[in-house]
């Protein structure tokens, strides 16, 4: 009996460890999600969100964006490093909480409420554990010395000052605090830790060159070309721009002093200090590498969300040398090529590519090459990568979805035909083809039935290249004779023809759903003047209007017999971790959707989004965005009122009031979309100018929801 209980216990522990390993494993990487209980301090910020607290406002904005990570392997690692730094400061340790932010930027932030945020991008660029320890010690020093409070008081005191003078003085004080935080970090927290002083210089390297890829390696042509086709020589740079020296950057308008100044001051502080018994790693070096690899894979994911496809492709190439056969890297590269071809065919490729002249190092080669591709070439390159990924991962339906979309762009959007593709590689020597011996007449007669003739006639002849053939015409030599490829191509073309007919005869339908997700609306109120005080007033007014519009959206949806699922702060304060992860995934999808300008495409994590829709019993999302700005003082409407009052003196009081009251330009966009497909169900955009901007906002939102639900548009 005891043995049975023992084996059951071991089995349960194994299952639990397997689940934890899968959540934070490099080999089976999935975009990171939080785990454990929803932190009480984060819930408290959500519940007290009406307080005018700048520190809580930052935490709140990160939560509302679904960017905060807790309970992951990254969090555990950072906490263990922080514990080493705070071992001699138990009171300070009890006050501070460390969270991970889903951001690829190399940065960390400390707030005066004791929260320290460490960006995924920082963890991804580190060389050792000690570098992380120095950055954390720096942020701990900021908190311990209440630097945020000091700057906040200065900010409040000088809000009415000349903006440029205020800005310069503010950042001068900030630079002083950065230098002080470095000094206190070294003398107090880092100095009392087991980490080597030698790693501090490397920490400054990480911060100074934070914009660079994970490593500097030449672009691998094998991911772009094959033995069957090559791109013209002018698609590649002969020499890339060298990485510039950052040591001479002027820091007058920077919140941080020049990195070389900080480096020199730090080196002076550690000169003569013994490094005996200290190390760059306290935890196992393998653990550090695992954490860094997880952070790097998460950065790849975040760049995909932001459609920074050149960064994805170059950094995937770097990581594949260290993680050969890693499935997520293959998927990320396929997704990046797919995203590029979508933007090339339906949007602006410049929106998602860094201008190559502004890129340094070997990555400039990638940016330059991608900018040279035409529509056909990028579509075929994307199709090739998706096709071979499906062969390697046949159980993943994502690749087949991409293949069909890319075929539509090749054969429908770009109007290429099957016979446009050569069966022979570039530069093929046709003199080497042996003349085929004709089949005996008796054998031919036996196979000359009606159906055999039809099959032979439908079998396309081998396509020989002509003088008009370019690179694109050779890019399917190894693919387009595949029977599955031909069947899919025919199905896609037939589906496109049928869709044209359906679009021509379709009429708006009454909405066939009852539940809808409502995100907090976006409201941008323009500042009346170019000073800090006006900006703050505009921000506060925008915040109030967003809350009011949220209430109006919920009431409008209920009036129209819809069941609204509203993700406001009150609802978020009741979240458990599953709900928060679902919300974070929806926010991620929303950001990617906006980055794509609402373009219909297969978005990332379609399987996970489908699971969210199933849990919520809802796949529709409603977004409202509005902008309000002051209308010009003299306008046609005011002039019209004055002219009318001259004819009828009794209307003069109304004309005066009309002249005195400010008028506003208001624009409202209402969008309803399906987050499982990325397809837009409804979009309206209205603009008007009026004294009663808020009343128009409320009325417009209700009217557009009504039009959609009733099938009026």
**What per-residue string of b and e applies to 357-387 under the rule 16 or more CB within 10 Å gives b?**
eebbbbbbbbbbbbeebebbbbbbbbbbbbb
For 124-157, the pLDDT digits (tens) are 999 999 999 999 999 999 999 887 655 454 444 4
Say which range, 159-173, 401-415, 611-625, has the weakest mean pLDDT: 159-173
Residue 711: pLDDT band by 50, 70, 90 thresholds? confident
Residue 431: pLDDT band by 50, 70, 90 thresholds? confident
Nearest to 536 by CA among 251, 252, 121, 160: 160
Which parts of 461-618 are beta strand (E)? 515-519, 522-525, 563-567
The predicted structure's pLDDT at residue 294:
98
Q: In this prediction, what percent of the chain has a pLDDT beyond 70?
A: 78
Residue 162: pLDDT band by 50, 70, 90 thresholds? very low
The predicted structure's pLDDT at residue 218:
95
Residue 9: pLDDT band by 50, 70, 90 thresholds? very low
Task: Write down the H helix ranges in 506-563.
Answer: 532-559
Say which range, 13-22, 111-120, 495-504, has the weakest mean pLDDT: 13-22
Q: Scan for tokens 């999935």, then name that residue.
A: 30
Distance CA 566, CA 586 (A): 13
Those residues whose C-beta lies under 8 Å from the C-beta of residue 112, and which sit 6 or more positions away, are: 55, 143, 146, 147, 148, 149, 152
Q: In this prediction, what percent of the chain has a pLDDT beyond 90?
A: 52
The predicted structure's pLDDT at residue 625:
87
Q: Which one is predicted more confidently, 495 or 452?
A: 495
Average the pLDDT over 468-473 and give the result.
95
482: pLDDT strictly greater than 50: yes
161: pLDDT strictly greater than 90: no
The predicted structure's pLDDT at residue 308:
96
The predicted structure's pLDDT at residue 666:
83
Residue 383: pLDDT band by 50, 70, 90 thresholds? very high
Say which range, 449-453, 511-515, 676-680, has the weakest mean pLDDT: 449-453
Q: Which one is predicted more confidently, 122 or 526?
A: 122
Residue 259: pLDDT band by 50, 70, 90 thresholds? confident
395: pLDDT strictly greater than 90: yes
480: pLDDT strictly greater than 60: yes
The predicted structure's pLDDT at residue 22:
40
Average the pLDDT over 65-89 and give the result.
97
Nearest to 697 by CA among 536, 562, 548: 548
């Amino acid at each position: 009996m005891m043995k049975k209980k023992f084996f059951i216990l071991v089995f349960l522990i194994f299952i639990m460890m397997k689940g934890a390993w899968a959540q934070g494993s490099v080999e089976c990487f999935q975009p990171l999600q939080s785990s454990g209980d929803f932190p009480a301090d984060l819930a408290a910020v959500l519940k007290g969100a009406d307080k005018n607290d700048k520190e809580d406002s930052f935490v709140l904005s990160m939560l509302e964006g679904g960017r905060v990570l807790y309970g992951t392997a990254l969090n555990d690692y950072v906490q263990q490093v922080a514990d080493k730094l705070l071992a001699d400061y138990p009171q300070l340790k009890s006050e501070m909480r460390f969270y991970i932010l889903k951001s690829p930027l190399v940065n960390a932030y400390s707030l005066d409420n004791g929260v320290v945020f460490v960006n995924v991008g920082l963890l991804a660029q580190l060389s050792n554990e000690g570098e992380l320890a120095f950055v954390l010690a720096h942020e701990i020093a900021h908190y311990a010395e209440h630097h945020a409070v000091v700057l906040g008081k200065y900010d409040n005191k000088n809000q009415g000052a000349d903006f440029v003078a205020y800005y310069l003085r503010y950042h001068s004080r900030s630079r002083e605090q950065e230098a002080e935080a470095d000094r206190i970090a070294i003398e107090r927290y880092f100095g009392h830790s087991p980490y080597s002083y030698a790693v501090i210089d490397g920490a400054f390297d990480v911060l100074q060159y934070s914009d660079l890829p994970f490593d500097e390696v030449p672009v691998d042509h094998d991911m772009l070309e094959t033995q069957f086709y090559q791109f013209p020589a002018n698609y590649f740079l002969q020499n890339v721009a060298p990485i510039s020296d950052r040591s001479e950057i002027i820091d007058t308008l920077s919140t941080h002093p020049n990195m070389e100044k900080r480096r020199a001051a730090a080196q002076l502080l550690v000169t003569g200090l013994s490094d005996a018994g200290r190390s760059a790693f306290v935890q196992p070096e393998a653990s550090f590498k695992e954490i860094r690899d997880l952070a790097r894979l998460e950065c790849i994911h975040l760049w995909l969300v932001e459609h920074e496809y050149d960064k994805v492709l170059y950094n995937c190439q770097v990581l594949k040398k260290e993680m050969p056969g890693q499935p997520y890297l293959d998927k990320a590269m396929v997704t990046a090529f797919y995203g590029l071809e979508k933007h090339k065919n339906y949007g602006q490729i410049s929106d998602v590519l860094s201008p190559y002249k502004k890129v340094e190092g070997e990555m400039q080669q990638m940016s330059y090459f991608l900018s040279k591709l035409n529509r056909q070439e990028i579509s075929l390159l994307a199709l090739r990568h998706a096709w071979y990924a499906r062969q390697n991962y046949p159980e993943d339906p994502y690749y087949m979805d991409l293949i069909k979309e890319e075929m539509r762009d090749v054969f429908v959007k770009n109007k290429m035909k099957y016979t446009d593709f050569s069966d022979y590689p570039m530069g093929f020597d046709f003199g080497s083809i042996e003349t085929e011996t004709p089949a005996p007449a008796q054998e031919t007669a036996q196979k000359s039935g009606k159906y055999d003739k039809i099959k032979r006639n439908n079998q396309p002849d081998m396509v020989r290249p002509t003088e008009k053939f370019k690179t694109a015409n050779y890019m399917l030599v190894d693919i387009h004779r595949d029977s599955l490829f031909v069947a899919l191509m025919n199905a896609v073309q037939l589906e496109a023809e049928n869709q044209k007919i359906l679009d021509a005869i379709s009429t708006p339908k009454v909405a066939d759903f009852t539940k809808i997700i409502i995100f907090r609306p976006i409201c941008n109120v323009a500042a009346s003047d170019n000073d800090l005080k006006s900006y703050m007033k505009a921000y506060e007014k925008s915040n109030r209007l967003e809350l009011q519009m949220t209430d109006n959206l919920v009431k409008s949806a209920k009036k129209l017999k819809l069941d609204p699922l509203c993700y406001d702060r009150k609802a978020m304060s009741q979240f458990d971790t599953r709900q928060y992860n679902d919300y974070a995934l929806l926010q991620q999808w929303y950001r990617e959707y906006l980055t794509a300008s609402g373009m219909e495409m297969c978005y990332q994590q379609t399987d996970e989004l489908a699971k969210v829709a199933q849990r919520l019993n809802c796949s529709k999302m409603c977004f409202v965005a509005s902008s309000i700005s002051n209308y010009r003082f003299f306008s046609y409407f005011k002039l019209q009122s004055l002219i009318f009052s001259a004819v009828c003196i009794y209307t003069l009081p109304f004309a005066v009031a009309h002249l005195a009251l400010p008028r506003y330009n208001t624009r409202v966009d209402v969008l309803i979309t399906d987050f499982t497909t990325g397809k837009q169900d409804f979009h309206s955009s209205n603009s008007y100018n009026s004294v009663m901007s808020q009343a128009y906002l409320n009325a417009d939102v209700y009217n557009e929801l009504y039009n959609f639900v009733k099938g009026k548009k």
